[in-house]
Amino acid sequence: MADILRERERQVYRKGAQPFQLDCEKQSVAGSVSQRACVFCGSRVVLYPIADALHIVHGPIGCASYTWDIRGALSSGPELHRLSFSTDLRELDVIQGGEKKLYAALCELIDAHQPKAAFVYATCIVGIIGDDVEAVCKRVSLEKGIPVLPVHSEGFKGTKKDGYRAACEALFQLVGTAPTDGISPISINILGDFNLAGEIWMIREYFRRIGVEVVACITGDGRVDDIRRGHGAALNVVQCSGSMTYLAKSLKDKWGTPFIRVSYFGIEDMAQSLYDIARFFKDPCLMQRTQDLVRQEIEAIMPTVVEYRRKLQGKKAAIYVGGAFKAFSLVRALRLLGMQTVMVGSQTGNREDYEQLRELCDEGTIIVDDSNPLELASFLQEKEIDVFIGGVKERPIAYKLGVGFCDHNHERKEALAGFAGMVNFAREVYGTVMSPVWKLTPRKRERALPKEQPE
């Protein structure tokens, strides 16, 4: 078993070996070198895909550099979001304050780029020196005639999950500020899909085919004007529950808009999501169109999926992702490919999420909250896994251990959502698991050596 810091022992659970008890939703243990990101990074990854807005980081240049083009989020139109702007606070600004610098930067950038709105991210240093970011934003908004929204994302305030909430609070100020004329009674907002590798375009096409209007995409390929009229949708559909549930609840409280949780990863969850949405509107014709679409899509991809399943049967996988809801879909998708999930964890899961993971996983599976590189490496070696599914910070762990890796985080360039995404996922997992390069790693060479016979 891995050497785990004593303060973290209750954040690791082995199914079947002990009664279920898993601590979560707590600050990372000092010195554990958590895989989590800071509050600022959490807010930045949520708001970044809004393509016609100006995004400016009020803080040192390093914060802007760290989050420059941080998502593989594509836009069907403007690409202002891909530019990284910063007030570049320095020592003198820390002493004298950075409000004048922020005001000048906002005025210059708004005049130059004519955005539909501006988001101003407050970083750690801004929280320490006490700049009144909100006052500057109000002043510039009145002068320039566009929404200028402060994002209270000082990194030291908590975890990445607190950054999600800061982003949702900024978005909530936009919703309800435009008329809702002409919106269909069968309409939705897509919350929590960030259009990685163009995935939201695939999902929107499914909704078009079954007759559901998409009012606003929040935030993948997002547009400020669409978000402003998002309160006119009949239903909010929440994909990344960790980042967007707070916004969905806020919209329900103020506008009465119901919401449901969905997932677009894997055949089972993609189909169930479409059925849940069709069922909500209680329209028999809509349900029939949904059934036809699901049948057509599954018939088109199943022969390929079955072939990959034959080749991957019995392989072992480990999962470590940002939100636990994504892990549910990955466990089910791997099971469809004949693979066993032997370790699964997340950065921001809650108790309900982990209880659901416990029900979903097999005996002996390690379930972990807010892990770190040493723990993850130890678990991978102990379980002798064939593929590690995670993000950019998990990739080096896998490669150093001679293990296949599949990128399922926000920087990936391969579409893995929807029915076609299941084929891409199977192809990517097969390609890394079966790569001949792993035969050359010490781990595989040691397995291949014949055992010495006792004399």
Question: What pLDDT is attached to residue 310?
Answer: 97
Average pLDDT for the chain: 92
Task: Identify the weakest region by mean pLDDT among 2-11, 107-116, 259-268, 388-397.
Answer: 2-11
Residue 262 and residue 324 share a domain: no
3-state secondary structure of 265: strand
List beta partners, residue 217: 190
Q: What is the pLDDT of residues 198-222, one digit of tens each?
A: 999 999 999 999 999 999 999 999 9
Q: Average of pLDDT values for 292-319? A: 98
Host domain of residue 227: 187-293
Q: What is the pLDDT of residues 320-350, one digit of tens each?
A: 998 888 899 999 999 999 999 999 999 888 8
Last residue of a domain, one of 293, 325, 347: 293
Q: What is the CATH number of the domain that holds 202?
A: 3.40.50.1980
Which one has a higher pLDDT value, 410 or 32?
Answer: 410
Question: What pLDDT is attached to residue 68?
Answer: 82
Question: What pLDDT is attached to residue 447?
Answer: 60
Question: What pLDDT is attached to residue 30?
Answer: 66
Residue 103 and residue 43 share a domain: yes
Q: Is 1 exposed, middle or buried (0-12, 13-18, 19+ CB in 10 A)?
A: exposed
Q: pTM for this one?
A: 0.92
The total domain count for the chain is 3
- Angle, helices 199-210 vs 284-312, to 10°: value is 140
Residue 418, pLDDT above cutoff 60: yes
Question: What pLDDT is attached to residue 37?
Answer: 79
Task: Identify the weakest region by mean pLDDT among 178-182, 273-277, 438-442, 444-448.
Answer: 444-448
Residue 304, pLDDT above cutoff 50: yes
Residue 436 and residue 315 share a domain: yes
CB atoms within 10 A of CB 396: 12
Q: What's the length of the chain? A: 455
> How far apart are the C-alpha atoms of 398 and 437, rounded to whole Å?
13
Last residue of a domain, one of 133, 150, 174: 174
Question: What pLDDT is attached to residue 1?
Answer: 41
Q: Average of pLDDT values for 70-79? A: 88
Which one has a higher pLDDT value, 455 or 438?
Answer: 438
Q: What is the pLDDT of residues 87-98, one digit of tens each?
A: 999 999 999 999
Token pair 């914060």 is at which residue?
63
Question: What pLDDT is attached to residue 445?
Answer: 59
Q: What percent of the chain has pLDDT over 70?
A: 95
450 part of a folded domain: no
Last residue of a domain, one of 293, 327, 353: 293
Candidates 274, 301, 307, 316; CA nearest to 421 is: 301
Cα–Cα separations (whole angstroms), residue 199 to 89, 174, 230, 291? 36, 24, 20, 21
Residue 142 and residue 61 share a domain: yes
